[in-house]
Amino acid sequence: MNNKVIAISRQFGSGGRTIGRLVAEKLGIPCYDQELIEKISEESGLCEDFIKERGEYASSGNWLANAFADRDYYGHSVQDDVWFAQRKVILELAEKGPCVIVGRCADYILEDKSPCLRVFIHADMKSRCERIVEQYGESNQSPERRLRDKDKRRAAYYNFYTDRKWGDMKNYDIALNTSSLGIEKCADIIASIYNS
């Protein structure tokens, strides 16, 4: 299997972003994460914070109601602009050469477009809680509540734009649990598939 692009989907707090960077280092290819946000921002003219939030997450509250309420007379929303800009940038990056892309529905966008290894990274609630407190500090909400909210909004976004179920293993070539396998081992496995 000679995959050109590795698309990493991940649960918030599971270490997917770190794995993306590690895999890219091991393979000597770029990992698009922050740079992706900058490029989508340039493409769409929208600010990076908005892209960061609205390129992967449904809005809080009743997402479906908001998704329709936010639309103009032609049925179009700003979130759609982000989606189309994101899609365009991801296709261009995949065209440019081998790379790792973290999140942003790249697994779906690249399907049938580019040879793509589709990876899902997850972990148990306990280790995700520890990880987000370590990385982002405490907040008013409990870590578990923050994670459940993130999961729910990320899934709603993915399901809306791709018409698939986020986290359903049939959409991925490999799904790895970092709580039991460890981040380094997960990166090794992904790199070994890419090289085989």
Q: In angstroms, rounded to a whole number, what is the distance separating the alpha carbons of residues 2 and 21?
A: 19
The nearer residue to a second copy, 59 or 179, going by C-beta atoms, is 179
174 binds a second copy (CB under 8 A): yes
How crowded is the C-beta side of 142, counted as CA atoms within 13 Å?
Answer: 5
Q: In angstroms, rounded to a whole number, what is the distance separating the alpha carbons of residues 135 and 125?
A: 15
Q: Which two tokens mark 126?
A: 């306990």
Which candidate, 18, 11, 1, 19, places its Cα nearest to that of 149? 11
Q: Please give the backbone phi and psi of residue 28, each rounded to the nearest 5 degrees, phi first.
A: 65, 40
57 binds a second copy (CB under 8 A): no
Among positions 91-120, residues that touch a second copy (CB under 8 A) are 117, 120
**Minimum CB distance to a second copy, residue 21 (Å):** 21
The nearer residue to a second copy, 145 or 185, going by C-beta atoms, is 185
The nearer residue to a second copy, 149 or 188, going by C-beta atoms, is 188
The nearer residue to a second copy, 44 or 171, going by C-beta atoms, is 171
Largest CA distance in the chain: 51
Helices (H) and strands (E) in the chain, counts: 10, 5
> Which one of residues 67, 91, 175, 191 is an interface residue with a second copy (CB under 8 A)?
175
Distances (CA, A) of 168 to 10, 28, 122, 161, 172: 12, 30, 12, 15, 8
191 binds a second copy (CB under 8 A): no
The nearer residue to a second copy, 97 or 182, going by C-beta atoms, is 182
**Minimum CB distance to a second copy, residue 179 (Å):** 8
User: Contact residues for a second copy (CB under 8 A)?
Assistant: 1, 117, 120, 122, 124, 167, 169-170, 172-177, 180-182, 185, 188-189, 192-193, 196
